[in-house]
Chain A
């Protein structure tokens, strides 16, 4: 199985979870982290990453500010807001429920 683009709808949760784990992070860092976490099975398309970040910011789940990266370069850092933290919990719970239900369908011997 080659690398797949990240699925629509799950990217927002991945970004939020990444920011929850790592704290403030810039776009490049988020992308690398998602790729690493997926064991390099996912490829984050930058054309979808930045619009997704912008959408989360517009909705008030994350906020951004300019800062300096580890390499001493200027970069825009994103971090969770309070609403964002709640949103991670809620979405994670919903996702777990969904996958649990789907799992039952996909393993018929447990029925």
Chain B
């Protein structure tokens, strides 16, 4: 390939140019001497010979120039020259350069970091093969007042669906449990009790060893698979752990294998998977969650329809259990995993995009101002024969340098931004720990840089082309109307974008404030909570469980700094479903035609003084006392939601209710209502409908529903709650060294964690809005300052002719104010139109909340007017004499 070889050499010739130039000079010199020698031989005098040779040789420099062009790559050399000159020009105007580079770095950094997180978390969140075929089972029971989002099923349902569903390849069911892992130290860990089909559904092989065996031999030790994290943390990543026996809740369990670090199912908190079989008999136990892989060609809608049909055909097997009331609302695993977070992150990406637009408008404006100031220089270039490409080179070189610098800084900022997002992001964000800035994301940044270069470089070029810049009018200080219009449009756009982001952040802040001001029904301040599970090996029956909890409660309740202590199965906002829920029956009401219309009530077994300890005031009646506990009294306290559901306006005190599993020896077990409290949030902070709840004495005799072996303790403290943690651990260890505490935290932490995703979105949008506002202010100030400086002489004339300085100020402010008002109008229209995008992120306010709109509009207008007023003041202070002399 001759041409290629030529180019390679030409490229090589770009280096060591001085030496090559010298060599060519020597060659030309030899040529000249040879010519002179010839001429002398032909009879000329030396002087004549030299003159003749020089004339024949022609323009020496021109020859050298052509030679250089052939030697190297002229376009490349011209570009390096343009870039060198441009960098010189940029160094000479540090204000412009740093403003442009910083705006760009801010915008690119924000976009790249948010894009990185969005790509990992929203676009590509699941590390499983063909993850788009995975679906989560989810249900609604409209007749029982249960909306979709109820992702629990009974074991009977699981086995029936697994056997009969034709639209799926495989189905797995699991449930979270907390168990105590004993050994050198006792440790409370979260496990998933799962069917062995889980690895088939997710198609993920273990890192070492094997997955849970499909069939367990009768009497054989149960099997466990460790998470990568637990394997490293507790077993020092020793491969020999496979086949070893670990003790879980006192039960010897064989380790079958270790899963890879990327396998975080159902969430990152689960450290072990075990295959303890499910009991099929208990139809009240909605405690299993299902995940399935769709068969090729089957759609989600077909799967839902099939599950609805299968649930109906399950009803005759277990009459009266309400299976006919179930509707499938299955959703893809991806939607399930990222759901609400996805909306917030997309919104954030949009906000980052808007910041980029504001920054672009800002830089374009800076460039416009600069191109106006450079009219004369450009005109000279033109006059000296520079074509459009020459002038384009002038601007493109500057914008390329700025974009590269901005991109490099932006990339560095993005690295920091991603770390910040990861560190402050809600813990439930999937795959958060894997987020890194990768080449894909760097390519995204490069794309932004390329776009930015073209955009900024071409804007002034378009202006130069449209206005026939020439030497004679470039010295005049008038400014064309078209030029002003472009700047004003850009400035108005900045105001509009800034307003949209300000309104969005205002809405989020206001709904966050509303959320935090929400009446929780309890007092989270000065409350410590932790979980204790009594393993069945040492606590095999209810008697021993009761005595175990009583002993721990007595010991921690007596610790100094503890004002009162109590126990419940699940504290509010525990985030895990109903935590023991069953259909409600009220005594004396007519037997319902259909069991399926009964509301599901969350059941809360508690120890004495629970309501005082949690800070839950009683609306009616009294709380549950130690006498009730000791006497196994069949009493209950209900919340106001249950009171309204079951008793409308009647006084419920003294009435008797039960949940369907409340039976003793086949006879129903009725609980007498002795008090009413306010509803507390069950799963999340802002629940549209708080769940009906009943509280009962935790040891209330007979077959208690739900189980009480794993309970959550609550301490009301007179000192900072976490300061008691060590003392509490020591006290529990003293009672039984094999017990481990889990989830030690303050109630305030529980509430904060529930609000964290909203806080995260709110803070980031607020940051984006502040950035847009800052850029917008700089933009307005810059444009108005420039306008004033261009009109110096005109203003001078006005002042000389007797105009009041105040009038001049008003004129300038009016000019800027009109543009700002235009921008605000456009921004208001956009914010009103785009309200639906943010609606799902709001709580308790409308996306058109007038208060937010008014406050933000007035704030922005005031700031815009100040940004106009500063240059206006300078205009009014112009000295007419100086101004006129300048002309």
A76 touching B30, Cβ below 8 Å: yes
Known: A58-B5, A59-B6, A60-B5. A47 touches B66 (CB 8 A): yes
Q: How far is the CA of A60 from the CA of B10 in the complex (A)?
A: 12
Question: What residues of chain B lie closer than 8 Å to A60, measured between beta carbons?
Answer: 2, 5
B34 touching A46, Cβ below 8 Å: no
Of A13-21, A66-74, A95-103, the one contacting chain B is A66-74
Question: What residues of chain A lie closer than 8 Å to B28, measured between beta carbons?
Answer: 46, 50
Distance between A48 CB and nearest chain B CB, rounded to angstroms = 7
Known: A28-B30, A75-B34. A48 touches B5 (CB 8 A): no
Main secondary structure of the interface of B (DSSP, over half): helix
Of B54-62, B178-186, B290-298, B539-547, the one contacting chain A is B54-62
A28-64 Cβ-contact flags toward B at 8 Å (1 or 0): 1100100000000000011110110011001110000
Range of interface residues on chain B? Answer: 20 to 34
B702 at the binding interface (Cβ < 8 Å): no
Known: A47-B62, A48-B66, A50-B67. A58 touches B34 (CB 8 A): no
B28-70 Cβ-contact flags toward A at 8 Å (1 or 0): 1011011101100000000000000000011100110011011
Chain B residue nearest in CB terms to A44: B56
Q: How far is the CA of A71 from the CA of B651 in the complex (A)?
A: 129
B70 touching A69, Cβ below 8 Å: no
Distance between A64 CB and nearest chain B CB, rounded to angstroms = 9
A81-98 Cβ-contact flags toward B at 8 Å (1 or 0): 000000000000000000
Q: How far is the CA of A55 from the CA of B35 in the complex (A)?
A: 23
Q: A-B pairs with CB below 8 Å: how many?
A: 67
Q: How far is the CA of A17 from the CA of B624 in the complex (A)?
A: 115
B37 touching A50, Cβ below 8 Å: no
Known: A47-B59, A59-B2. A54 touches B30 (CB 8 A): no
Q: How far is the CA of A45 from the CA of B71 in the complex (A)?
A: 18
B5 touching A51, Cβ below 8 Å: no
Question: What residues of chain B lie closer than 8 Å to A73, measured between beta carbons?
Answer: 30, 33-34, 37
Distance between A75 CB and nearest chain B CB, rounded to angstroms = 4
Question: What residues of chain B lie closer than 8 Å to A50, measured between beta carbons?
Answer: 24, 27-28, 63, 66-67
A-B contact pairs, 21 of them (CB 8 A): A26-B30, A26-B31, A26-B34, A28-B31, A28-B34, A29-B34, A32-B38, A46-B31, A47-B58, A47-B62, A47-B63, A54-B67, A58-B5, A58-B10, A58-B70, A69-B30, A71-B34, A73-B30, A73-B33, A75-B31, A76-B26
A54 touching B27, Cβ below 8 Å: no
Distance between A31 CB and nearest chain B CB, rounded to angstroms = 8
Give chain A's interface residues, CB within 8 Å of chain B. 26-29, 32, 45-48, 50-51, 54-55, 58-60, 69, 71, 73-76
Candidates A32, A54, A75; contact of B70 at CB < 8 Å: A54
Distance between A71 CB and nearest chain B CB, rounded to angstroms = 5
B27 touching A27, Cβ below 8 Å: yes
Question: What residues of chain B lie closer than 8 Å to A59, measured between beta carbons?
Answer: 2-3, 5-6
Q: How far is the CA of A32 from the CA of B38 in the complex (A)?
A: 10
Question: What residues of chain B lie closer than 8 Å to A29, measured between beta carbons?
Answer: 34
Q: How far is the CA of A60 from the CA of B70 in the complex (A)?
A: 14
Q: How far is the CA of A3 from the CA of B66 in the complex (A)?
A: 22
Chain B residue nearest in CB terms to A43: B56
Question: What residues of chain B lie closer than 8 Å to A26, measured between beta carbons?
Answer: 30-31, 34
Question: What residues of chain A lie closer than 8 Å to B71, measured between beta carbons?
Answer: 54
Q: How far is the CA of A74 from the CA of B32 in the complex (A)?
A: 12
Choose among B3, B26, B33, B34 the residue with the greatest number of A CB atoms under 10 Å from its CB. B34
B81 at the binding interface (Cβ < 8 Å): no
B874 at the binding interface (Cβ < 8 Å): no
Question: What residues of chain A lie closer than 8 Å to B57, measured between beta carbons?
Answer: 46
B707 at the binding interface (Cβ < 8 Å): no
A58 touching B58, Cβ below 8 Å: no
**Besides the contacts A69-B34, A71-B37, what 13 more A-B pairs have beta carbons closer than 8 Å?**
A27-B31, A47-B66, A50-B66, A51-B70, A58-B9, A59-B3, A59-B6, A69-B30, A73-B34, A73-B37, A75-B27, A76-B26, A76-B27
Chain A residue nearest in CB terms to B12: A58
A55 touching B70, Cβ below 8 Å: yes
Distance between A47 CB and nearest chain B CB, rounded to angstroms = 4
A55 touching B6, Cβ below 8 Å: yes
Chain A residue nearest in CB terms to B41: A71
Question: What residues of chain B lie closer than 8 Å to A55, measured between beta carbons?
Answer: 6, 70
Question: What residues of chain A lie closer than 8 Å to B30, measured between beta carbons?
Answer: 26, 28, 69, 73-76
Q: How far is the CA of A46 from the CA of B58 in the complex (A)?
A: 8
B1-31 Cβ-contact flags toward A at 8 Å (1 or 0): 0110110011000000000000010111011
Q: How far is the CA of A28 from the CA of B34 in the complex (A)?
A: 7
Chain A residue nearest in CB terms to B24: A50
Distance between A26 CB and nearest chain B CB, rounded to angstroms = 7
Q: How far is the CA of A22 from the CA of B34 in the complex (A)?
A: 17
Distance between B82 CB and nearest chain A CB, rounded to angstroms = 23
Q: How far is the CA of A27 from the CA of B480 in the complex (A)?
A: 58
Distance between B66 CB and nearest chain A CB, rounded to angstroms = 5
Known: A45-B58, A46-B58, A58-B9. A51 touches B34 (CB 8 A): no
Question: What residues of chain B lie closer than 8 Å to A71, measured between beta carbons?
Answer: 33-34, 37
B626-660 Cβ-contact flags toward A at 8 Å (1 or 0): 00000000000000000000000000000000000
Question: What residues of chain B lie closer than 8 Å to A32, measured between beta carbons?
Answer: 38
Q: How far is the CA of A50 from the CA of B28 in the complex (A)?
A: 9
Question: What residues of chain B lie closer than 8 Å to A74, measured between beta carbons?
Answer: 26, 30
Distance between B77 CB and nearest chain A CB, rounded to angstroms = 15
Q: How far is the CA of A59 from the CA of B28 in the complex (A)?
A: 21
Question: What residues of chain A lie closer than 8 Å to B24, measured between beta carbons?
Answer: 50
A58 touching B33, Cβ below 8 Å: no
B215-231 Cβ-contact flags toward A at 8 Å (1 or 0): 00000000000000000
Question: What residues of chain B lie closer than 8 Å to A27, measured between beta carbons?
Answer: 27, 31
Q: How far is the CA of A58 from the CA of B70 in the complex (A)?
A: 9
A28 touching B35, Cβ below 8 Å: yes
Candidates A45, A48, A58, A69; contact of B6 at CB < 8 Å: A58
Q: How far is the CA of A59 from the CA of B5 in the complex (A)?
A: 6
Q: How far is the CA of A24 from the CA of B37 in the complex (A)?
A: 20
Q: How far is the CA of A40 from the CA of B736 in the complex (A)?
A: 116
Distance between B83 CB and nearest chain A CB, rounded to angstroms = 25
Q: How far is the CA of A50 from the CA of B35 in the complex (A)?
A: 15
Q: How far is the CA of A69 from the CA of B30 in the complex (A)?
A: 9
Choose among A27, A48, A50, A69 the residue with the greatest number of B CB atoms under 10 Å from its CB. A50
Q: How far is the CA of A58 from the CA of B58 in the complex (A)?
A: 25
Question: What residues of chain B lie closer than 8 Å to A47, measured between beta carbons?
Answer: 58-59, 62-63, 66
